[in-house]
Homo-oligomer: A and B are copies of this chain.
Amino acid sequence: MARTTVSHEDGVVYEFAPDLDGVYEATPGERLTIETRDSLEGAVRTEDDVVESVPEEVNAATGPIAVEGAEPGDVLRVAIEEVRVAEDRGRVVTIDGFGLLHDREEIETPRTRITPVEDGAVTFDGVEVPVEPVIGTIGVAPAAESYSTLIPHDHGGNLDTTAITGGNVAYFPVFQAGAMLAMGDCKAAMADGEMCGTGAETATEIDVTVDVVAAPATSIDRPVVETPDEWTVLASAETMEEACETANLDAMELLAAEHGFDPTDAHLFSSLVGGLEISQVVDPLVTVRNAIPKEYLDDPFDR
């Protein structure tokens, strides 16, 4: 089956809201190519283009894509086959009042560095870094509240998680009929933490296969990412400590279901294998993940 392309020209959202209208309806198992804009909408082409403040509309997310038959309580499965950088550059910027070190005097804001992309590498001031794309913002229509695409929450959103990339599978709770998947805000390269508030922001083409896990064996409240070796739960919260707690509780629930542990044994076991990782520390809510190696956890959705 040929891939259908859904482009940012078909539609973008700047808010994950409960009542989104789809720009396309996919069938379960359909293969799509999703074209995304860079998070700054092409406004930054040279190092003279600086970003004075966080734009009111940022992280345009292509979509939303309705997936036929997805109903609240299901799980949306998004197999990410490949993320391709679709332009000849990225841009990494400081912005006033934004980023981990925004209150440090020695950090100049605003500043833009253009990172040319060529032959599988981005270049920062002469230093080559391999292209390892990240989908920064990806999510579904939330249950009740609306969230701007600058915010990560239980529906996904601005998760800025290096594990959300080609070769991995992202799972989202379905809160609304059709799920309403949207994504954008991609980076050609990004460090865990995304310290300055951006990676090498770039436009991309993303090959995915969307599917619905109806009546999953395990229900989830937040996004989960499957890598070749791990099941990773994602939690966003106001503080890192809160995010760590939620990411531990979510992992414990999966481990308890798998091994018949009570919560205390799941907590003890979770302290021995895999563990907590940082996604980003710069968005209005921070994001932490907890990775459980697959040898300790089978597919939680299919038991």
Q: Which positions in A face B, CB cutoff 8 Å?
A: 92-94, 99-101, 104, 106-108, 111, 113, 115, 122, 124-125, 127, 129, 162, 189-200, 239-241, 244-245, 248-249, 259, 261-265, 267-278, 281, 286, 288, 290, 296
Contacts and interface: CB of A to CB of B under 8 A. Distances in A.
Contact of A277 (B115, B195, B278): B278
A264 to B, nearest CB: 4
B259 A125 contact: yes
Contact of A264 (B108, B270, B275): B108
Contacts of A106: 263-264
Contacts of A194: 271, 275
Contact of A272 (B99, B199, B268): B199
Contacts of A261: 125
Contacts of A193: 244, 248, 271, 275-276, 290
A269 B239 contact: no
Given A127-B259, A195-B276, A278-B288, 15 more contacts: A107-B264, A111-B268, A189-B272, A190-B275, A191-B270, A191-B273, A193-B271, A195-B267, A195-B270, A195-B271, A239-B240, A239-B241, A240-B241, A276-B278, A278-B278
A125 B99 CA distance: 43
Interface centre among A111, A113, A281 (most CB of B within 10 A): A281
B267 A94 contact: yes
A190 to B, nearest CB: 6
Contacts of A268: 92-94, 111, 113, 124, 196
Nearest to A115: B272
A191 B271 contact: yes
Nearest to A192: B275
Nearest to A249: B101
